[in-house]
A = this chain, B = another copy of it.
Amino acid sequence: MNILDWNALDADGQARALTRPVQAVAEQTRASVAGLITQVREDGDVALRGISARFDGVAPERFEVGESEFAAAELAVPAELRIAMQQAADRIDTYHRAGMARPYAVETAPGVVCEKMIRPIGRVGLYVPAGSAPLPSTALMLGVPARLAGCREVVLCTPPRKDGSADPAVLVAARLTGVHRVYKIGGAQAIAAMAYGTESVPSCDKLFGPGNSYVTEAKQQVAQAGAAAIDMPAGPSEVLVIADAGANPAFVAADLLSQAEHGPDSQVLLLSDDAALIAAVQDEVEAQVAQLAREGIARQALAASLLIKVDSIAQAFAISNRYAPEHLILALREPRRWLEQVEAAGSVFMGDYTPEALGDYCSGTNHVLPTAGAARAYSGVSVASFQNQISVQAASAEGIANIGPCALTLARAEGLGAHANAVALRLGVTP
């Protein structure tokens, strides 16, 4: 871990400290993903089968999970895990439901009513990765808001295991949330299948979920081509912790490590105004990392991590807002007092008893969040991510009499004669 004194750095040094390692997509990745997408688009299931055999070592005759596999999954998942998933789903439901947009109507002039209707996006595709481990929690994070939105068709793709089956916990999670169809397809080929459709996979209007660099690149390419919308651009996961002198070094170290174990490219930052706390955290990290099953991964991420000494907690917030972290942990004595300082972040964790892991699994908030600074202009997944908001207006004869002259004046100013004519005809005046 690298310790920096923020105020000893010049502007360039400060900028460098907050620059994420460029996730340069190799030209080869780009081309390879483009090739996979073209194959799936042109040859459908046949292409999927070939690609799956090549990358997953298995070419399922049938991609869609059938009833017998769902039934077997229910038996395979321990009761404790099933109950935990149900509890998590319930809390995700509670939080997301409370924030749902409501339709509204307002009279903007006598006889002119403007409304907003909320409609589910028709067909949505969820991607649940299974790289180093399958992630049933991601199925919950995507499936619950899709169900709340009321999407007509919810499709989920997840990579097959070597024996051609899907991870049972992912299947149970998908069923818990009411996902309609699950397909054993992974990687860029899954994204292509859901964007363009194949004989067995329906094409979807919008695609959601995290994934490796191939999945991410595939999402970008299908979005760019206009084939499907996507939830957000994605990059490696990251956490920024702001800790004061009263923070518990063991807790802070554990939070840094739970980010670091995600992957070698995970971003981990600690900002504190207390040098002793920083030193104590460093010692704790060293002690804890040696105990981890994923020690190797965590050590790689830690090598690029930063512990930054700042002059004040206020300065820490200024730096955090500039960095715009995916996860922001406030290991502070009075976190609520500081909350209003947060301008850009994906999700905020307040105080000593709210580790990021709670939000990852079961506090109720969503764990699909903007990374790589995207939190400056993107928000995490919510029910709104699965809905369209459609504006509606209705003017009566009185209504157009009231606002028509305003429209006429503007249409004339913009030189749009047919616009003026459409209004003038209704008003019975000369355009």
Contact = CB atoms under 8 A, between A and B. Distances in A.
Contacts of A380: 389, 391
A178 interface: no
A343 interface: yes
B388 A350 contact: no
A114 B342 CA distance: 16
Interface in A317-371: 335-336, 339, 342-366
Contacts of A91: 108-109, 112, 114, 403
Interface string A56-75: 00000000000000000000
A137 B414 contact: yes
A282 interface: no
A34 B355 CA distance: 43
Contacts of A406: 84, 87-88, 361-362
Contacts of A108: 91, 94-95, 363-364
Contacts of A421: 254, 257-258, 288, 291-292
A106 B95 contact: yes
B361 A410 contact: yes
A320 to B, nearest CB: 12
Interface in A109-155: 109, 112, 114, 116-117, 119, 121-122, 132-137
B169 A413 contact: yes
B414 A136 contact: yes
Interface stretch (A1-9, A186-194, A223-231): A223-231
B392 A358 contact: no
A206 interface: yes
Contact of A418 (B116, B257, B422): B257
Interface in A81-119: 81, 83-85, 87-88, 91, 94-95, 98-99, 101, 104, 106, 108-109, 112, 114, 116-117, 119
Interface residues of A, number: 126
A378 interface: yes
A359 B420 CA distance: 13
Contacts of A417: 261, 291-294
B390 A347 contact: yes
Interface string A189-230: 000000000000000011000000000000010001010110
Interface string A391-431: 11111110110011111011101111111111101100000
Given A347-B390, A354-B393, A357-B422, 11 more contacts: A87-B406, A137-B414, A206-B376, A226-B233, A229-B374, A258-B419, A260-B418, A291-B421, A292-B418, A347-B393, A376-B388
Nearest first, the 4 closest Cβ-Cβ pairs linking A and B are: A229-B377, A108-B364, A254-B422, A84-B409
21 contacts: A84-B413, A99-B116, A101-B101, A114-B365, A205-B377, A251-B422, A251-B426, A258-B422, A291-B421, A335-B394, A336-B394, A344-B390, A346-B391, A347-B391, A348-B390, A354-B399, A357-B419, A362-B407, A364-B393, A379-B388, A379-B390
